[in-house]
Structure 1
Amino acid sequence: MSEDLTKIKTVKIIYPQIYAYTLPTIEERKGWVKIGYTERKNIEDRIREQTKTAAIDHPYNILWSGPAKFINKNDWFTDHQLHNYLSKYKRIKRMPNTEWFYYNGYLSQSEEDFQDFKHEIKTQIREQESYELRPEQKVAVQQTLNYAFSHHNAEFLWNAKPRFGKTLTTYDLARRMDAETVLVVTNRPAIANSWYDDFEKFIAWQTNYAFVSTSETLKHRPVMTRDEFKEQMFAGGKERMIAFISLQDLKGAIVFGGSYPKLEWVRDLDWDLLVIDEAHEGVDTLKTDVAFREIKRNFTLHLSGTPFKALASGQFSNEQIYNWTYVDEQEAKENWDNEEGNPYIKLPRLNMFSYQMSQMITDQVNKGSLIEEESHDYAFDLNEFFSTDDSGKFIYEKDIRRWLRTLTTNEKYPFSTKELRNELKHTFWILDRVASAKALYRLLRDDPVFEHYHIVLAAGDGRIDDDQGANEKALDRVRKAISENERTITLSVGQLTTGVTVPEWTAVLILSNMKSPSLYMQAAFRSQNPWEYEKDGEVYQKENAYVFDFAPERTLMIYDEFANNLSTRTTGGGGTTQDRKDNIRKLLNFFPVIAEDEEGVMTELDVSQVLTIPKAIKAREVVQRGFISNLLFKNISGIFASQEAREILEHLNPMDEGRLVPRSQSEAIDTQEVEVDESGEAVVAQEIVIGETQANFGDKIYGEVQQLAENAVEEEKSSVAQEVARTFRNQLTDSAKEIAKENGLRVAVGEKAIQDSANILAREVEVIEKQAEIKQKGGLYNQLSRPFVNKKRHVDFMLSL
């Protein structure tokens, strides 16, 4: 019987145990003890699988078994940790690539060693672990090595989902590349601990590498500065270096385009390997391009779990990309040939539940809203819905209270019953504004259901009012709250959405108009971390993780992009319609989407329901389709045409469905929301309203000041770059139009090709300008610092006499 995916079920009971047995009738196994691990209740079920098949039936002797749990702390372990302990600290001989250990007749010693491990009795201060890469990690390393050895000064991308194990795999690549100098640059300094943890555990004890960093995140860890590294190297210490630097720190240095005299050594060194970690949103600005161009290196590795922009830009060919997606992971989990040793078994499956927020508050929506004594139609928009006034209160507080009540009382919503609340004890809610998070914090604490949850505010300064609150970091507050409370809700505005592991989170609620597929999926994966816990003597393991979305139109757009835009074949609208359907169908196997049908009943969507209007299909093809049959896509809110076409449309008489003549009375067709680009081509806005409800929504209400502020933050382009681009366009546009006509293409195609080329040319000019500015700053810095350098040399000379 197949699993009912419409029901929420996050955990299953497991029984983590270590067992030991011998095979007394097999001569070559005499003196050897098999020490294994199982999560089954009866260990003999697992042992019989190993000793009895259709071809063999070996008698076995069970020596002992016990819970895989440490004695002095509430932590569970696996056989891998125990095996490492037996090899390193007990020096027990191990049969290569097996779980057999040689005790030479002293079989009872194996249980004593097991008890020592549970009590953490070690002969050395720190554990030093060996490692073996998973199959997909080995492929990533080998594919990258092959490319690096045949392409000098090349770049490579690992399109690898969160929890791929990028840090350890990168270290292994550096070792096999025989790199002496490795530079890791990240846009998120908070992940420094992950890099250092793996280095300290797996790399430091068995290599000649030292870890160098001045990151504030690592100030309490025993990392070295550049000077300390040189001092210990001259004293006979480690000779190879792995340096970790934040992108912010790099761009702040004069030698990389900033204003501070630092990191000259980074520019001066010739690096064997540059690693750009989390190369997705934000790591593509002019300043970043300039900074990276100043780094001399032999090879560049880009790491990202969601490289939508990089793939869409065509920066990497298929030969330059290694892919390990969520689907790859779940397929590997499902297809592993046996339970034992499955490295993916603890990775939960993601499930998407999509609700129409407007259906939850429809009665209130139709009444409109009164703002500043004027009546306005209520425009449904998640950011607008959770907007606040100057006093910090929700503008639509009554509607939000109604939504919370629906969330906790209507049986199809995730917090509506005691059973569901027990399944979702710790959840992560994402909003758009700090003020919204603070206002929701107050409402939740006053809610008859959510008042029983500990609410963590991970937004802004983390305080409810300006005059109170602690200076604890957001992640520390979350972990502390979870350790002390049975139920928690974490409210976030951008914080904790990437590179953070909170195993207890079982669901993410998206309560903002988050449009970036990269940021959206990074946030969604926060609930997919493995988790095990014990209650009443039973051990539970997270089996499913959930994403609850309240904007169905956005849900399917993001889903389409996640399925297709992380593949070079279908990114940016590439591939055939069937290719895109196949990608979505495969993703649905492991990431089902549950949404409301026309009667409001939650149902599992199939590929035809998800892929109604793929993001890549041009607007013209959408208009030609005439209508959209999808249970979530009831109407399209725009017609795309030129200005002349708009004027014609606005004077046409509408025609009723099924009739061949127009109405006798003319009604103007509203085209005010239509957007076109410079060439008159239709632009499909990210904010298209697709899910129609009983409500009649009006125009969105935005303040003029807010709009002006958003416009003001745009970076001013170089006037030289603009002039170069303009000249380029003027000289080549006419020729491009002619070429387009000769090849049967629209004129707009030729114009777009020239515009894209002009943009690339303008960016290159900006980079050159910035590099010249860096050289000028560097020269001035050297001139100013030379007197101090000469003075120091004079003092050193005098002291040497």
Structure 2
Amino acid sequence: MIYAYTVPGRKDQAWDRTVGQMHTTGTGLIKVGETTKPTAFERIKQQLNTAYPGLRGVDILLEEEAKRSDGSWFGDRDVHRALVTQGISKEQEWFEATLDEVKAALVAVRNGTAYESQRTQDFPMRPEQEDAVAQTAGYFLSQGGGTHAPKVLWNAKMRFGKTFTAYQLAREMGFKRTLVLTYKPAVQSAWRDDLLGHVDFEGWHFVDRTTPVNVADELADGADPLVWFASFQDITGKAAGGGIKERNETLHYIEWDCIVLDEYHFGAWRDGARDLYDPTEKELAEVEEPDDWVTEEDLGLNSKHYLYLSGTPFRAITNGEFTEDAVFNWTYVDEQNAKAHWDDADGQNPYVDLPGMKMYAYEIGAPATEWANDGEFNGFSLTEYFKAQKADPESKSKKVERGTYTFNDETRVKDFLEMLRGKLTEQMKVQLLGVSGKKAPFPYESADFRDAIQHSVWYMADVGSCFAMRDILEAHPYFNGFEIHVA
């Protein structure tokens, strides 16, 4: 194993260095060593336990297997050498370096590549990511020469790694020009970091709205692979004179190898049809699950392939927008099955860092459904059920104390809290249990759930309901055992 750590005194030590035209400053010295023991902790404890009992105050920053891509082993001196060649100073095995610089040196030694301080990731694809790339590449190749550019949907949940895998598809297909369009500009950092941080994409370039126009144009004319990231809101926005924004002119002239539509379920785009969802721009209205969907014709751009990414593409699948062989599916169930049935003979389980995930649903019994559909209760609203108001409507104070807000019907809210603990009123027993009388396990009653909800988030309709719920929970004989925060 190669490991890195720092200790009190050294972790706060400032340093600076100048190499060529680059000046770098940082804080903290890092020790880089090696061991044949199973963990870095065991080796470091041998060294430091006397000075730091139980390694209190010692920060273990890194521990990785010291094996090259070809299967041969390397040692800490190889990593030291890679660091020193970059002008990084050392005192014995203590380096004036950042953790990312140490990671980059480790990656360079492992892969036999040139040192590049940005590229600290070298993990491979997981099996399902390889399957997505292989299936999609096969489909794209089989559809070549048609009148319409082929399109594929990845129906994959969070944690699948859609950005990294999309880049691997571009790499597999030899794409030189890839455009990523999204309804959620906030995902920009993930797309940038995956491209610029992984060794597989060395030499690739990333362009976004912050890239100077002349630089973007130069990269677009170059030979290196290019990924251009943009939001629908930006590319459809007009310049002051009414035309296309200057920074977006070039992307309209490029024949893209692939256009990737990220977070496809979040919005639609038809010229002038409706406002677009963009949480970063207050003047744009929020629209979720719209009636219209993007088509290739809507884009006004030229591409040879289209890749759609979404964790919840329900409408697209229901409407039959994609043929069965043009959809790759990956669910949490698939992920957890792969984790549970991984064969250790195939190497380390790649799903070991993905926590278990369990999902439960309650089926509403017929009596409760009939009651809810009855004229008096039809249109039942949780907002109304948990409606709260100021205890003193005349008060102008903005300070919120206990008792400032109260529920309109505190009794039914208390009944609801008791229901969560499996304690049902006679009326609830009739409505929820029906003829069978069989009660489902409730979240704060069943041992199956209790450990899973030591931490939970409750969404209320408004601020008043949040404070009223806090007060009622803190006065409750069971829920007052939790630490309650109003966010």
TM-score, normalization by structure 1: 0.38
Is 2:216 aligned against 1:229? yes
Q: Which amino acid aligns with 1:210?
A: H
Deviation digits for residues 612-658 of structure 1, max 9, x if unmatched?
xxxxxxxxxxxxxxxxxxxxxxxxxxxxxxxxxxxxxxxxxxxxxxx
AA in 1 matched with 2:294: D
State which structure, 1 or 2, has the greater radius of gyration over its C-alpha atoms.
Answer: 1
Paired position in structure 2 for 1:699: none
Pairing of 1:390-405 with structure 2 (within 5 A): 394-405=407-418
* 2:232 is the counterpart of 1:247: yes
Instruction: Please give the residue correspondences for 1:116-131 in structure 2 after superposition, counting only pairs within 5 Å.
Output: 120=99, 122=102, 125-131=117-123
Which residue of the partner structure matches residue 164 of structure 1?
160
Instruction: Pick closer, same or farther for the CA change 1:310–1:233 going to 2, 3 Å.
Output: closer
Corresponding residue number in structure 2 for 1:149: 141
* 1:18–1:65 contact (8 Å) kept in structure 2: no
SS at match of 2:194: helix
Residues 18 and 68 in structure 1, CA contact (< 8 A), matched pair in contact too: no
Letter of the 1:424 partner, please give it.
Answer: I
| TM-score normalized by the length of structure 2 | 0.59
CA distance in 2 between partners of 1:238 and 1:433 (Å): 54
CA distance in structure 2 between the partners assigned to 1:440 and 1:259 by the alignment: 50
1:282–1:341 Cα change, 3 Å: same
For residues 41-74 of structure 1, give each alpha carbon's deviation from its aligned partner in whole angstroms, at most 9, with x where no partner exists.
xxxxxxxxxxxxxxxxxxxxx9423256998786
The equivalent residue for 1:311 is 317
Residue 211 of structure 2 aligns to a residue in which SS? coil
Relative distance call for 1:253 and 1:207 in structure 2 (3 A) is: farther
Corresponding residue of 1:345: 352
Q: Distance in 1 between matches of 2:156 and 2:217?
A: 35
Q: Does 1:207 align with 2:202?
A: yes
Which residue is equivalent to 2:189? Answer: 193
Q: What residue in structure 2 maps to residue 386 of structure 1? A: 386
| Pairwise CA distance, 1:184 | 0.8
Distance 2:359 2:406 in 1: 33
3-state secondary structure, aligned to 1:65: coil
Describe the superposition over 1:641-691 as per-residue Cα deviations: whole angstroms up to 9, x where unpaired: xxxxxxxxxxxxxxxxxxxxxxxxxxxxxxxxxxxxxxxxxxxxxxxxxxx
Which deviations, in whole Å up to 9, do the C-alpha atoms of 1:741-800 show, x marking residues without a partner? xxxxxxxxxxxxxxxxxxxxxxxxxxxxxxxxxxxxxxxxxxxxxxxxxxxxxxxxxxxx
User: Does the aligned pair in 2 maintain the 1:254–1:262 contact within 8 Å?
Assistant: no
1:354 aligned counterpart, secondary structure: coil
Displacement of 1:200 in angstroms is: 2.4
Specify the alignment match of 2:340 in structure 1.
334
Could you say what secondary structure the match of 1:429 adopts?
A: coil
**Aligned pairs (5 A) from 1:699-778:** none
In 1, the alpha carbon distance for the partners of 2:298 and 2:41 equals 47
Question: Whole-Å Cα distance in 2 between the matches of residues 294 and 379 of structure 1?
Answer: 43
Q: SS where residue 179 of structure 1 aligns?
A: coil
2:281 paired residue number: none
CA distance in 1, matches of 2:463, 2:233: 23
**How much does 1:302 deviate?**
0.3
Instruction: Provide the C-alpha distance between the structure 1 equivalents of 2:480 and 2:184, rounded to a whole number of angstroms.
Output: 32
Quote how far apart the aligned CAs of 1:212 are. Answer: 1.1
Correspondence for 1:551: none
1:688-718 deviation digits (Å, cap 9, x = unpaired): xxxxxxxxxxxxxxxxxxxxxxxxxxxxxxx
Give the structure 2 partner of residue 268 of structure 1: 253
Per-residue Cα deviation, 1:419-459 (whole angstroms, up to 9, x for no partner): 976653322334556665565455446656357424253xx
The CA distance in 1 between the partners of 2:448 and 2:61, in whole Å, is 27
1:140 equivalent in structure 2: 132
Q: 1:334 to 1:66 in 2, by over 3 A?
A: closer
1:298 aligns with one of 294, 304, 316: 304
Aligned partners of 2:421 and 2:445 also within 8 Å: yes
Matched-pair contact (CA < 8 Å) for 2:155–2:310: yes
Cα pair 1:210 1:229 within 8 Å, conserved: no
| 1:320 matches 2:331 | no
Could you tell me how far 1:253 is from its partner in structure 2? 3.7
Q: 1:131 to 1:437 in 2, by over 3 A?
A: same
Cα distance per residue 1:21-58 (max 9 Å; x no partner):
xxxxxxxxxxxxxxxxxxxxxxxxxxxxxxxxxxxxxx
SS in 1 for 2:307: strand
The CA deviation at 1:226 is 3.9
Deviation of residue 126 (structure 1)? 4.6
Larger helix share, 1 or 2: 1
Q: Separation in 2 of the partners of 1:137 and 1:254?
A: 40
Q: Tell me which amino acid in the other structure corresponds to 2:352.
A: I
CA positional deviation for 1:140:
1.1
Q: Match of 2:485? A: 455
Once the two structures are superposed, what CA deviation does each residue of 1:203-239 show, in whole Å capped at 9, x if it has no partner? Answer: 5x8433211112xxxxxxxx634433335788xx884
Listed as ranges, the matches of 1:527-542 within 5 Å are none
In the alignment, what sits opposite 1:173? 169
Say yes or no: does 1:278 pair with 2:263: yes
Q: Which amino acid aligns with 1:146?
A: G
Structure 2 CA distance, aligned partners of 1:331 and 1:440?
38
Q: CA deviation at 1:275?
A: 0.3
The CA deviation at 1:309 is 0.9
Asked if the contact 1:253/1:262 (under 8 Å) is kept, the reply is no
8 Å contact kept, 1:280–1:307: yes
Match of 1:289 in 2: 294
Q: Matches of 1:353 and 1:147 in 2, distance apart?
A: 36
Task: Map 1:65-84 to 2 at 5 A.
Answer: 65-67=38-40, 82-83=64-65
> What CA distance in whole angstroms lies between the structure 1 residues aligned with 2:461 and 2:194?
34
Alignment of structure 1 residues 433-444 onto 2, 5 Å? 436-437=465-466, 439-441=468-470, 443-444=472-473
Corresponding position of 1:56: none
Residue equivalent to 1:426: 455
Q: d(CA) in 2 for partners of 1:407 and 1:74?
A: 42
The question of whether the paired residues in 1 share the 8 Å contact of 2:154 and 2:309 is answered with yes
- AA aligned opposite 1:159: N
Aligned-partner Cα distance in 2 for 1:73–1:434: 43
User: CA 1:144–1:382 in 2, change beyond 3 Å: closer, same or farther?
Assistant: same
Deviations 1:165-190 (A, max 9, x none): 11111111112222222111112222
Relative to structure 1, the CA distance from residue 253 to residue 431 in structure 2 (aligned partners, 3 Å threshold; closer, same or farther) is farther
Q: CA deviation at 1:349?
A: 3.2
1:422-501 superposed matches below 5 A:
423-431=452-460, 436-437=465-466, 439-441=468-470, 443-444=472-473, 447=476, 449-450=479-480, 452-457=482-487
| Unpaired runs of at least 5, structure 2 | 4-34, 45-54, 79-92, 106-114, 275-292, 394-404, 425-440
Identity %: 29
Find the aligned partners of 2:265 and 2:358 in 1 and give their Cα distance.
22
Q: Distance in 1 between matches of 2:410 and 2:59?
A: 43
Q: Which runs of 5+ in 1 are unaligned?
A: 1-16, 20-61, 88-93, 107-114, 215-222, 369-375, 458-801
Number of aligned residues: 354
Q: In the alignment, residue 39 of structure 2 is paired with which amino acid?
A: G
Aligned match of 1:5: none
Q: Are 1:253 and 1:261, in contact at CA under 8 Å, matched by a contact in 2? A: no
Secondary structure of the structure 2 residue equivalent to 1:455: coil
Q: In the alignment, residue 318 of structure 1 is paired with which amino acid?
A: E
Question: How much has 1:289 moved relative to structure 2?
Answer: 3.2
